[in-house]
Amino acid sequence: MDSVKKAMLLMKELGIEGDVIKHQSSGKSSIEASEALGVPLSRILKSLVFTEKGEYIFVITTGDRRVSVKKLRLFSGMKRPRMATPEEIFSILGYEPGGVPPFAFYGIMPCYIEKAVLMLDWVIGSAGSEYAGIKLKPYDLVKIGCRPHDLSE
């Protein structure tokens, strides 16, 4: 099964509504996704995975923000979190970096979402591929267990 179909099945299972937007150019990075979709960086979701000693956490913020590792340490319990490698991300979530949907954490690891994201009425995260996005309501991610926090530097 291709990764976009897999993401859509999970989305349906979780009761998240959204519109899939396919695009021709790569959206692997936030900047590339913003350009490919023609939307501001502040509307693009970054789905990040941090790890320490075999523990993983999923972090969601917008493309125009940077996650503060200092703040992450305070509420995650991790002393020295690092970004997971592409291989770790794929082995745990089943998606390549740049294609990780914002709901891929469900049932696998804790999720934290930048509070400011919840002020937006819609955002676009990856839909399983760097060539597909999913426009959704950010509060739907809280409904499935993502916890709001002040994450940005």
- Secondary structure element (H or E) that encloses residue 6, with its range: helix 3-14
Neighbouring residues of 26: CB distance < 8 A, sequence distance ≥ 6:
32, 36, 98, 130, 131
Q: 107: left (phi > 0), else alpha (psi -120 to 50), else beta?
A: left
Domain boundary assignment for the chain: 3-149
What is the end-to-end Cα distance of the chain in Å, rounded? 38
pLDDT digits (tens, 9 = 90+) for 117-150: 999 999 999 999 989 999 999 999 999 999 999 9
Please give the CATH number for the structural domain made up of 3-149.
3.90.960.10
User: Model confidence over 10-58: pLDDT tens digits?
Assistant: 999 999 999 999 888 888 889 889 888 999 999 999 999 999 999 999 9
